[in-house]
Amino acid sequence: MCSTRSDLDEASTTELVNVLSAVAAELADREPPESPAACMELTETLAAATDQLESAIAGLISVVDKSREVQRWGLPSTQAWLRSRLGMRDTRAKERLSLARQRHRLPTLGKRWATGELSFGCATAIADAVTHLNDDDCKAAEDILLDMVDQEFSAGKVAAFGRRIRDIIAERDGTEEPDADSRHGYERSWIDTTRSLDGGRYIKGWLNAEDTAVWDGTLAPLAKPAGPDDDRDLSERTAAALTSVLSGGHKVSFPPEHGHLI
C-alpha cells in the first residue's frame, strides 16, 4: 500500500487520468457480480469515488473557464464546450460550471468534497445557492447548508433550503423579483396545464380563498386513505380524487355562486 501511495504521488495528473480512463474502460466491459449484496457495496464505493472525480473535474473546468481557452477552439462559452464536446445536457453543464466557478468561495465544501465526505448532489446544491451571494453571505450559507448535510438532509432538501436562503437575502436587500406564477395575481384562480411527451399532463395553478374552500370540501374527503393497505401518498390520492370528480364518479352539489354539479 505504501509503495502504491508513493507511485501515485509521483505520477503526473496526465498519467493518473490515463490510468483511471483505462480502469474505467475495463470496469465498463465487465459483467457485474452475481451477488446483489456485493453489487450494492460496489455501487456505493464506485459512486463515492465518482463524486470525488467530479471534484477533480470541477478543478480542471475552472482552469479552462478562467483562461477562456474554449474561444481558441471556436466555441462561444465554457458551457457550450461542456454541451458539445462532452455531450452533457444543459442542466448538467450548468451544474458543473457552477461548481467550477464557486469552489474557490467554498473552501470547506471543497475539502470535504475532495476527501469523499460530500456528494456531488449536495455540492451542486450549495454552489447553486451561493452563486449570487456576496462573500459574507456565501460563507454563512456554506456553514448552514453543510450543517444540513451533517444532519443527513437529502440533496433535494439542501437545494430547497438554499433557494430559501437566496429569497431571504433578496428580501433583505430589496432585490427580490416576483416569480412568474405570482404575476397572475391572487384575486382570480388560474390553472396552467402542459402535455407531456408520454401523453400525460403537468398541472400547476393557484386557487383563491373561495375556490380553495370548494377544493378542500370536495377532494379532502375523497383523498383519505382507502384502508390500511393503501400505500399511495397524499399527492397520488388527491390526483385520484380529482379524476373521480372530473369523470363523474362523484357528484357534488355546490352553492349557487359556484355553479351546479361537476
Give the residue-averaged pLDDT of 86-91.
Answer: 92
Mean pLDDT of the chain: 87
- C-beta contacts of 109-115 below 8 A and 24+ residues apart: 109/142, 109/146, 110/55, 112/146, 113/51, 113/52, 113/54, 113/55, 114/52, 114/55, 114/56, 115/52
Instruction: Using pLDDT thresholds of 50, 70 and 90, give the confidence band for residue 105.
Output: very high
Instruction: Using pLDDT thresholds of 50, 70 and 90, give the confidence band for residue 168.
Output: confident
pLDDT in tens, 201-260: 888 888 888 889 999 999 999 999 988 888 889 999 999 999 989 887 555 544 444 444
Q: What letter does residue 257 receive in the DSSP assignment?
A: G
How far apart (Å, rounded) are the C-alpha atoms in residues 104 and 55?
12
Give the residue-averaged pLDDT of 15-27.
Answer: 94
- C-beta contacts of 120-125 below 8 A and 24+ residues apart: 120/50, 120/51, 120/54, 121/155, 122/149, 122/155, 122/158, 123/51, 123/54, 123/55, 123/99, 124/95, 124/98, 124/99, 124/155, 124/159, 125/155, 125/156, 125/158, 125/159, 125/162
How far apart (Å, rounded) are the C-alpha atoms in residues 37 and 135?
45
Give the residue-averaged pLDDT of 134-153.
Answer: 93
pLDDT at 261 over 60: no
Per-residue pLDDT, 183: 60
pLDDT in tens, 190-216: 888 887 767 788 888 888 888 899 999
Give the residue-averaged pLDDT of 99-118.
Answer: 95
Is there a contact between 129 and 145 (Cβ–Cβ < 8 Å)? yes
* Grid coordinates given for 256: 349557487
